[in-house]
Structure 1
């Protein structure tokens, strides 16, 4: 599923989108995020917006990607389970009242991104083709998520509160289904929202208001999506451009046709 994220934005843009935001980041001097590719399954610290329970104020802070399963004590088993919790199926949040997601339903956050990445499988190709996906006309947008807080104790006995979060996903729209076309979680996409729904998600909404947000399908005609060169530690691009810049793959069939031979045969 969506494990790769791009964020290249001035922090002031985030603060402009949310004027009442309180900056609770450890490094408040950082005024620019320039992440070409953040891999969520490595549980990196990442900026999110959430509402503080005590004050009700919106705050910008950094939490670790991937909801930490605190009920698991074995480190390896905990990490394995956590990789499956970097994404959260929105359909399951209210569907099971015994689930962890239902327990966290009111601990909502927004994840600022410039774009997300997904991989497309092509018949006969050894490697999948990565795509960059974003919303048209928005330099930065916000994907909804859930977060949790827990306490840890370091070697000196100091108690620290640590946060972790996951990104909400839904059934893919037609374009995203053609891109994310392989694997156990194929035909899924992040829950892209409009600016109004983003703000609604982070507001003091009721449980009865949530299904309309979960069911919103972002129109593919309002999205940007194109193939890029490579992700996840592969060699740098031969043209020296950024990871998120378009790349022309030779022989890449159009979306909806994943067999290059079928395209070739149709030409004759």
Structure 2
């Protein structure tokens, strides 16, 4: 699945790609913090959607709120399991939560996503930054929800927008990177700018929506590079940004998960 993204770019590029976009952001997010955004933290982020025929850039929190859970505290805790939505379940599983909000389509602007690769015998996984070639910003399809929530401290009601990022079966490249775990061989739904614009068109038919969901980005349109650990708060020894290249000693090429030597992993976690 996809739990880590990066927005290491200028928000103006998003506004340039969507020239009629209404900038309705309630918050200007910290640019340094956006270099790595982790879904399990349920962070506030940027989302593009269309409401009442107005396409807007707004803020929502990652991780859809499950409305079937009535206890406010449990409701928030359950959001960590609502960070990703499998594309296969949006239309074809009418019992899924995603089927119920299938028409609430949104886009998540990113400059790249992070995914982790397992190497045989290594305790820790190797993080990769994956980007779309020639696109300093691109847009991942998602679904969103707006709901009335209760502040667990004050008891006051407030309006909340939350979203989920859609994943699909991995292509050949992403299957080699995302090679382990319960949800291995999955990837975000990488799409080009024109397809992204179609995704939030309220007039898009079910056939058109399915075409987007079934799109598999060609391997040669993605770039990838290893980076230093992105989780846990540990600082890079070279003091560079989290999305900068990092060389992992004895790392084998993709397609071979056996270390290049019998020495110990250079553990950086």
* TM-score using structure 2 length: 0.91
Displaced runs of 4+ in structure 1, greater than 2 A? 30-34, 73-81, 152-160, 261-264
Distance 1:17 1:33 in 2: 19
Distance 2:35 2:213 in 1: 28
Distance 2:167 2:208 in 1: 17
Distance 2:259 2:231 in 1: 25
CA contact (8 A) 2:116 2:177 kept: yes
After the TM superposition, which residues 1-268 of structure 1 pair with which residues of structure 2 at under 5 Å, given as runs?
1-27=1-27, 30=28, 33-34=31-32, 35-52=34-51, 55-74=52-71, 77-154=74-151, 159-204=157-202, 205-260=204-259
The Cα RMSD (Å) is: 2.0
Change (3 A) 1:38 1:32: closer
The alpha-carbon deviation at position 263 of structure 1 amounts to: 9.9
Distance 2:24 2:233 in 1: 34
Secondary structure in structure 1 of the residue aligned to 2:35:
strand
The alpha-carbon deviation at position 231 of structure 1 amounts to: 1.0
The alpha-carbon deviation at position 152 of structure 1 amounts to: 2.3
Secondary structure in structure 1 of the residue aligned to 2:194:
helix
Secondary structure in structure 2 of the residue aligned to 1:73:
coil
CA contact (8 A) 1:7 1:115 kept: yes
Gaps of 5+ in 1: none
The alpha-carbon deviation at position 162 of structure 1 amounts to: 0.7
The alpha-carbon deviation at position 13 of structure 1 amounts to: 1.3
Change (3 A) 1:261 1:101: same
Per-residue CA deviations over 1:105-133 (Å, capped at 9, x if unaligned) read: 11000000011001100001010000000
Gaps of 5+ in 2: 264-269
The alpha-carbon deviation at position 70 of structure 1 amounts to: 2.0
- How many aligned residue pairs are there? 260
* TM-score using structure 1 length: 0.91
Distance 1:61 1:241 in 2: 30
